[in-house]
Amino acid sequence: MKKIWLLTAVIAVLVIGFVLVLWQNNKTFEFKDETFGISFSITDNYQKVAREDKQPSESNKLVAHFVRTDPPALITIRYETGLRKVKSLTRRSSVEHFMADITQFFPVKYQEYQFGSLEKQEVNGQEFVEHTFSYKDKEDTIKVRLLIYPYLDDAAYYLMIQGKEADLEKVAKDLDSLRDSVKFTGPKQ
């Protein structure tokens, strides 16, 4: 009789554990923007929102913003063109250009900028730059994880997630499903 109770208890614990794991796994949905030629999977706890581009430019375009509320985070996708001219002056590859640009301009662009890491990465044959850093926004310290993908010789895609410093570890992995599934076809002409 004790063995039956013990076996029942073990099975109940396993079933409850399995249900909890399934419940905590976020589902994803496919985002596709044919205008900018990008598609990827993103967890369904993010909502695409329309936001005004705070830095409008002919060469650096906002593709999309996604927000989540618990814990709060923002994913921003941008597309930039016109890099060939800048790179030809310095005679650097796209990756070298981004790495130098980050160390030179980010401390000026972001209030109380704090360097985290800067690495050249490759996933699924796609080379990119990954940069983590933090900055001050009003009273909060914002932590950022930025992925920069060169596209052809003249453009780049920027994928960024940011959130309050205390929350970023909880949401930084959300960028992984996006990174692992991203496909670039280039913008429509």
* Residue found by looking up tokens 């005679």 in the block: 91
pLDDT score recorded for residue 21 = 47
pLDDT score recorded for residue 113 = 94
pLDDT score recorded for residue 129 = 95
- The domain limits of the chain are 27-184
Answer yes or no: are the C-beta atoms of 130 and 146 closer than 8 Å: yes
Helix, strand, coil shares of the chain, percent, nearest 5, are 35, 45, 25
Instruction: Return the CATH fold of 27-184.
Output: Protein Transport Mog1p; Chain A (3.40.1000)
Question: What separation in angstroms does the CA of 164 have from each of 22, 23, 40, 76, 133?
Answer: 27, 25, 24, 15, 12
pLDDT score recorded for residue 145 = 94
pLDDT score recorded for residue 12 = 61
pLDDT score recorded for residue 42 = 92
24-72 pLDDT tens trace: 456 889 999 999 999 999 999 999 998 777 766 788 899 999 999 989 9
pLDDT score recorded for residue 128 = 94
Block mean pLDDT (10 aa), the chain, length 189: 68 58 67 94 92 77 93 93 76 85 89 94 91 92 94 91 89 87 87
